[in-house]
């Protein structure tokens, strides 16, 4: 009998197939300060319990994974805050995490604290591609998947053809 490889991500307690049947894979976005006023308010108030409750509620509502972004213009401690939050989330919520930051160091530090296999949100080849090149070895070392954006050296791909070309470039660069 041949075993089939099923791509998965995991928390300390639970593995989740990346391909859901029925689809889609649902990523809760309410712990993202860039899109949630409530998450931003909780981060600015140092309300970790409120953030945990917000994440827990998303899992109860059906999210398979939880996106975590704590970047704000009002705070300069994104790294420290992210580290504290992912530690708590890893202990108190069974859903795998999706680490979301523009800073590769923050992503790397968070990944090292998570007792599981998270997702990186997101990678691209913007500018000189240095962000991609700093994260690719970490992804390869730990087998971590990522959400890729069709942003290449010339910026956001606009046409379907440009998007396909950037996707191919991302794929080839990541080999």
Claim to verify: residue 19 and residue 84 sit in the same structural domain: yes
| Number of domain units in the chain | 2
Taking residues 70-81, what's their average pLDDT?
97
Claim to verify: residue 10 and residue 69 sit in the same structural domain: yes
Mean pLDDT of the chain: 94
Q: Which pair of structure tokens corresponds to residue 150?
A: 């069709």
Using CA atoms in the order 56, 48, 71, 80, what is the torsion angle rounded to 10 degrees?
-120
Residue 174: what pLDDT? 76
Looking at the predicted structure, is the pLDDT value of residue 33 above 70? Answer: yes
Q: What is the CATH number of the domain that holds 105?
A: 3.20.20.20
Beta carbons of 51 and 31 less than 8 angstroms apart: yes
Residue 96: what pLDDT? 98
Percent of the chain scored above 90 by pLDDT?
A: 86
Q: Which long-range contacts (CB under 8 A, 24 or more apart) does 73-79 make?
A: 74/44, 75/43, 75/44, 78/103, 78/106, 79/103, 79/105, 79/106, 79/109
Claim to verify: residue 108 and residue 137 sit in the same structural domain: no
Q: Considering the entire predicted model, what is its pTM?
A: 0.91
Q: What is the 3-state secondary structure (H, E, C) of 94-149?
A: CCCEEEECCCHHHHHHHHHHCCCECEEEEECCCCCCHHHHHHHHHHHHHCCCEEEC
Residue 173: what pLDDT? 86
The burial of 140, by beta-carbon neighbours within 10 Å (0-12 exposed, 13-18 middle, 19 or more buried), is given as exposed
Q: Which domain holds residue 162?
A: 124-175
Task: Identify the domain boundary among 70, 87, 116.
Answer: 116
Claim to verify: residue 149 and residue 92 sit in the same structural domain: no
Claim to verify: residue 66 and residue 147 sit in the same structural domain: no
46 to 11, 32, 68, 91, 96: CA distances (angstroms): 24, 14, 15, 18, 22
Distance in Å from the first CA to the final CA of the chain: 30
Binned at pLDDT 50, 70 and 90, residue 91 comes out as very high
Claim to verify: residue 99 and residue 130 sit in the same structural domain: no
* Interval 108-126: pLDDT, tens: 999 999 999 999 998 999 9
């Amino acid at each position: 009998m041949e075993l089939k490889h099923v791509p998965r991500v995991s928390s300390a307690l639970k593995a989740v197939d990346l391909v859901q049947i029925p689809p889609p894979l649902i990523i809760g976005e309410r712990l993202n300060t860039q899109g949630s006023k409530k998450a931003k308010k909780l981060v600015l108030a140092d309300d970790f319990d409120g953030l945990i409750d917000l994440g827990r509620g998303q899992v109860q509502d059906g999210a398979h994974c939880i996106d975590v972004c704590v970047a704000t213009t009002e705070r300069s401690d994104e790294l420290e805050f992210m580290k504290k939050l992912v530690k708590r989330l890893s202990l108190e919520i069974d859903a795998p995490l999706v680490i979301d930051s523009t800073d590769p160091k923050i992503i790397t530090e968070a990944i090292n604290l998570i007792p599981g296999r998270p997702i990186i949100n997101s990678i691209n080849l913007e500018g000189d591609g240095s962000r991609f090149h700093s994260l690719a070895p970490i992804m390869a070392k730990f087998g971590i998947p990522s959400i890729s954006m069709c942003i290449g050296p010339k910026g956001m791909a606009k046409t379907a053809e440009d998007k396909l070309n950037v996707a191919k470039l991302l794929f080839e660069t990541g080999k």
